[in-house]
Structure 1
Amino acid sequence: MAFVCVQAANHEMKVEVSAKNGVTIAGGHGEGGATNQLDYPYGLFVDDDQTVVIADYWNHRIIQWKNGHTTNGQVVAGGNGQGNGLNQLKWPTDVLIDKEMNSFIICHSGNRRVVRWSRCSGTTQGEILLDNTDCWGLAMDEQRYLYVSDIGKNEVRRCQLGEKNGTLVAGGNGKGDELSQLNGPRYLFVDRQQNVYVSDRNNQRVTKWNKGAKEGIVVAGGQRGMFRFPKK
């Protein structure tokens, strides 16, 4: 089963692999700020119970839809207007759930930081995990290492929670289309061997970076016309 973010229509769809049509599970009521609407949804995360958590970009919030509850979502972070306060978000682009800490980790692109919000009811603000990063995408591996794509430095870094700098795992050699470079890296996937897959947006390709590698391997796109700005 696949979950698809449809930005132009401001909704999320669930699609069976063999199906021809998807089912709207979030949004689909036009763009807007009500809890049954989205306004340019970007990253999404699907929990084991099929709860869908969405980075609702222009609404400056994170909103979740429980499985089977397709009418209204629940704002779980932000939603207090755009800003740099700890109770606010500005242009969130990705989100994931850290089950061990029972929290959301959010790419807070407008304020160049990664933040954490508790999933406990009554939470009114988050805390800063990383700052001064042009973050866009997030991933977490089975050892709870956090991976962050940086579209300013054109790189991906891996860090332990609480660590500020981390380890370079992809790119970091300036903007370009060489196999050692990235150009606008967006979303990430990390497999069990800690190999990192990067949607290399402006190079119109997806690259795989084996653990410890100095260059990536093109696994999709990379030829003119194959992909148009891959995201997630």
Structure 2
Amino acid sequence: IPNIPVDARWSQNGETVAGGNGEGNATNQFYHPEGLFIHDDQTMIITDSFNHRIVQWKMSDRNGKVLVGGESYGNRLDQLNRPTDALIDKETDSLIICDRENKRVVRWSRRIDTTEGEILIDNIYCWGLFMDDQRYLYVSDTKKHEVKRYQVGDKNGNIVAGGNGKGSDLNQLNFPAYLFVDQQQNVYVSDWSNHRVMKWNKGAK
């Protein structure tokens, strides 16, 4: 987590660093990009959802590089279907991807010779992912309206936010989407259909 000074100031205008060439499936285009992960070397990992692919884009590049998917959507282990988020597991040098419409979380090695992924978690309507410093994987489930924490390789996980049915009470979520976890393992959730951002302290029920 970056240490940003309290008096930091930002430019009043942004700049396009990836895409910006209209909707499409060329390597300089996106079609509804969703999740975004920035690696330590400033390489961006972009979940290009409606193109069913994961794209790597370096800050100075004019075109991205397709890392996973992109040929056609499907449920084979070399395909994705409407992915919504991705991150890099630095310890294994692999991508972990929320393959939403296939109802699974998959892992792809970043080695050049990788031709298909492996299923880490299945039967889950995932949307957002986060991995903390201890390599716990957090996954939001928009059907069960909960966030679970997993050890990599564990298919069950433990509920850390929501899990009390769909609703707007303070112990409930309604379509939890993207996630952030701070160094104290407090979980922040974009609670999409409740139009709010929730903080769940570590150990909250």
Q: TM-score, normalised by structure 1?
A: 0.84
CA distance in structure 2 between the aligned counterparts of 1:101 and 1:195, rounded to whole angstroms: 25
Residue identity in the other structure for 1:21: N
Match of residue 198 from structure 2: 207
CA distance in structure 1 between the aligned counterparts of 2:162 and 2:64, rounded to whole angstroms: 37
Q: Deviations over 1:71-119 (max 9, x none)?
A: 1000011112100000000000000000000000000001000000111
* TM-fit CA distance, 1:213: 0.5
Alignment map for 1:49-198 (pairs within 5 Å): 49-69=41-61, 71-198=62-189
Match of residue 5 from structure 2: none
Residue identity in the other structure for 2:127: W
- How large is the RMSD of aligned CA atoms in angstroms? 1.0
Residue identity in the other structure for 1:30: G
* TM-fit CA distance, 1:23: 1.1
Name the SS of the counterpart of 1:110 in structure 2: helix
Q: Does the Cα contact within 8 Å between 2:89 and 2:95 map onto a contact in 1?
A: yes
Match of residue 32 from structure 2: 40
Q: Deviations over 1:156-177 (max 9, x none)?
A: 0001000011000000000000
CA distance in structure 2 between the aligned counterparts of 1:86 and 1:17, rounded to whole angstroms: 44
| Matched residue count | 198
* TM-fit CA distance, 1:17: 5.0
Q: TM-score, normalised by structure 2?
A: 0.95
Alignment map for 1:3-22 (pairs within 5 Å): 17-22=9-14
Could you tell me which runs of 5 or more consecutive residues in structure 2 were left unpaired when the two chains were aligned.
1-7
Could you tell me which runs of 5 or more consecutive residues in structure 1 were left unpaired when the two chains were aligned.
1-15, 215-232
Residue identity in the other structure for 1:45: F
Percent identity over the alignment is: 64
Q: Does the Cα contact within 8 Å between 1:199 and 1:207 map onto a contact in 2?
A: yes
Name the SS of the counterpart of 2:67 in structure 1: strand
Match of residue 4 from structure 1: none
Residue identity in the other structure for 1:121: I
CA distance in structure 1 between the aligned counterparts of 2:128 and 2:93, rounded to whole angstroms: 20
After TM superposition, the runs of 4+ consecutive aligned structure 1 residues lying more than 4 A away are none
CA distance in structure 2 between the aligned counterparts of 1:52 and 1:18, rounded to whole angstroms: 20
Name the SS of the counterpart of 2:18 in structure 1: strand
CA distance in structure 1 between the aligned counterparts of 2:78 and 2:133, rounded to whole angstroms: 29
CA distance in structure 2 between the aligned counterparts of 1:189 and 1:19, rounded to whole angstroms: 24
Q: Does the Cα contact within 8 Å between 1:90 and 1:108 map onto a contact in 2?
A: yes
* TM-fit CA distance, 1:120: 1.0
CA distance in structure 1 between the aligned counterparts of 2:21 and 2:113, rounded to whole angstroms: 28
Residue identity in the other structure for 2:178: Y
